[in-house]
Amino acid sequence: MAGDLNTTMWSPYYQKLEQKTGLRNSRLGFGILPSWPAKGFSHSIVFYILSRFFQIPIDHCLISSEIKVVNVETKANLS
């Protein structure tokens, strides 16, 4: 299952989702890999500066235990 869940992996709702489905986060072992705010966001200079320090992972890919992940990375916003 993959998508923008608008929540972090530390949220109790996210943790409950993992428990109920038996799926696990594909980024385990690869770091936090924040996805919000998107790189390149330049709405205002203040927000841009703050966004460099306060990034969170809200996009997730949950996988079954049968799947082995060999690499995970985030890319810059292309829009």
DSSP 56: B
Q: What pLDDT was estimated at residue 11? A: 96
Instruction: Give residue 8's pLDDT band: very low, low, confident or very high (50, 70, 90).
Output: very high
Q: Which residues pair with 55 in a beta bridge?
A: none
pLDDT digits (tens, 9 = 90+) for 10-68: 999 999 999 999 999 999 999 888 887 766 556 677 777 776 777 889 999 999 999 99
At residue 54, the pLDDT reads 79
- Give residue 78's identity as a one-letter amino acid code: L
Cis status, amide bond into 34, omega within 30 of 0: no
Give the integer Cα–Cα distance in Å for 36 and 19: 24
Whether 79 has a pLDDT exceeding 60, the answer reads no
**The whole model's pTM is what?**
0.73
Specify the residue for token string 């869940």. 5
Can you give the residue ranges of every domain in the chain?
A: 2-63
